[in-house]
Copies of this chain bind each other. A is one copy, B any other.
Amino acid sequence: MSDTVSDIIRDKFNVLTRAERKLANVLLDNYPVSGMTSITRLAELAEVSPPSVVRMAQKLGFTGFPDLQNALRDELEATISNPIAKHDRWSQQAPDTHILNRFADAVIDNLRQSLDQLPPEDFDRVSALLADRKRAVYIVGGRITHALADYLFTHLQVLRENITLLPANSNIWPHHVLNMKPGDLLVIFDIRRYERDLINLADMAKEQDVEIILFTDQWGSPVGKAASHRFNIKIEAPSAWDSSVVTLFMLEALTAAVETRIWGVTKSRMKQLEALFDRRKLFR
Contact partners of A239 in chain B: CB under 8 A: 252, 255-256, 259
Question: Residue of B at shortest CB range from A284?
Answer: B196
**Does A25 belong to the interface (CB within 8 Å)?**
yes
**Does A92 belong to the interface (CB within 8 Å)?**
yes
Per assembly, the copies of the chain total: 2
28 contacts between A and B (CB under 8 A): A10-B117, A13-B220, A13-B232, A14-B220, A21-B219, A25-B218, A29-B109, A30-B77, A30-B81, A33-B73, A33-B76, A33-B81, A36-B76, A79-B80, A82-B87, A83-B87, A84-B108, A91-B118, A91-B120, A93-B119, A100-B118, A100-B123, A100-B253, A104-B111, A107-B249, A147-B148, A147-B154, A245-B252
Closest 6 pairs between A and B when the two form their complex, measured CB to CB = A239-B256, A94-B120, A147-B151, A147-B150, A103-B253, A91-B115
Residues of A bordering B, CB below 8 Å: 6, 10, 13-14, 21, 25, 28-30, 33, 36-37, 73, 76-77, 79-84, 86-88, 90-94, 98-100, 103-104, 107-109, 111-113, 115-120, 123, 143-144, 146-148, 150-151, 154-155, 218-220, 224, 232, 237-241, 243-245, 248-249, 252-253, 255-257, 259-260, 266, 270
